[in-house]
Amino acid sequence: MMVAVQNKPLITRRRLLGGTAALAAPAAIAQTGGWRPTRPIRIVVPAAAGGTGDLLGRLVGEYCQRLWGQPAAVENKGGAGGVIGTMDMLNSPADGYTWLLGNIGPQSIAYSLYRTMPYRPENLATVSNLLTAPNVLVTNKSVPANTVPEFVEWLRRENGAAAYASSGPGQSTHLSAVWFLQLAGVRAVHIPYRGSGPAINDLIAGTVAFYFDNLSNGIRYVRDGVLKGLGITSAQPSPQTAMVPIRTTMPALAPFDVSTWFGVFMRAGTPRPVIDEANAAIKGMLEQESTRALYTQMAANTAWCTPEQQVEFVANDAAKWASVIRQANLQIDN
């Protein structure tokens, strides 16, 4: 069985619904020209209900429904690391009525992590990214380090004995640590968990020493003084925390730049006017003040881009993870 490469919910469903209510004001919705749907749209989320992709899918669906006057229903198709949901979209007509709420797992990491894949990037048409968000390096309070350089030196003294958690093999919480260790030239033992909850519990208990959690979740333990936060994984600072990007702390870590991301895809061959209209709708949604406020609560960044920019973004991200996975010899069977 393939390992799901998913991220935890960034916000609650109740908070999301409150945010979409703010999106509902017709005067705030920009009308664009071109294609218009004449029947319901299906938004496939390749993950279980309640996760980040599910919440974002409903946010997009609510906006598009009010923009176009057609239902936009989210369908959760989890399993196989997001491949099942992706294939559901790819088995639908290329007519713009089936969208995929893709993410870093099935649209980037999976191409290198799994030895066989039923689709390739060229089978998908890009529309736009929606969101990017960093992870955060958190440690048990007993770890004798308050900065990233001190932490690297401690890992070197531990000589591979220190253990780190992940929310599952191949997920961004795992691969963030793998790449960090590669760049820093140190070793540690990987302890995979079934989700972030058990990982955090064991981190607090001292069973493991460190963990690269999603910032939106990990930051609350840092603020509560339960864990120590040493830095964030994105290239840019986050307005949600004073912690600095890890890449700025040591020359060896300068290439380190990890952000989880979500975006909209359709099947290759979808007419360009359809893609352009969907792209314009996403842009309008992300430009609203209510959306920006909601993203701030999610410790995330809006990430609209053109379809061409998304092609480049996904290709660069996939190439980055291919290098990390190859160096760590992490390929697994599906």
Classify domain 134-253 by CATH number. 3.40.190.10
Q: Which amino acid is at 80?
A: A
For the whole model, what pTM was predicted?
0.78
Domain 13-133+260-328 matches domain 134-253 at the CATH topology level: yes
pLDDT digits (tens, 9 = 90+) for 229-256: 999 999 989 888 899 999 999 999 999 9
Which whole number is the average pLDDT over 210-218? 89
Could you give the CA distance from residue 303 to residue 286 in angstroms, rounded to a whole number?
Answer: 8
Q: Residue 213 half-sphere exposure, CB side, CA atoms within 13 Å?
A: 32
CATH class of the 13-133+260-328 domain in this structure: alpha beta
Taking the C-alpha atoms of residue 271 and residue 106, their distance in angstroms, rounded to an integer, is 23
For 49-96, write each residue's pLDDT tens digit.
Answer: 777 788 899 999 999 999 999 999 999 998 777 888 999 999 999 999
* Cα-based distances in Å from 140 to 151, 165, 174, 176, 210: 11, 11, 17, 17, 6
pLDDT of 251? 98
Distance in angstroms between the alpha carbons of the first and the last residue of the chain = 5
Domain assignments of the chain as residue spans, ordered by start: 13-133+260-328, 134-253
- What band does 26 get if pLDDT is binned at 50, 70 and 90? very low
Looking at per-residue confidence, does 27 or 41 come out higher? 41
Task: Name the residue type at position 111.
Answer: Y
Query: Which tokens hold the place of 70?
Result: 């057609």
pLDDT band at 33 (very low <50, low <70, confident <90, very high): low
Please tell me the distance from the alpha carbon of residue 131 to that of residue 262, in angstroms, as a whole number.
5
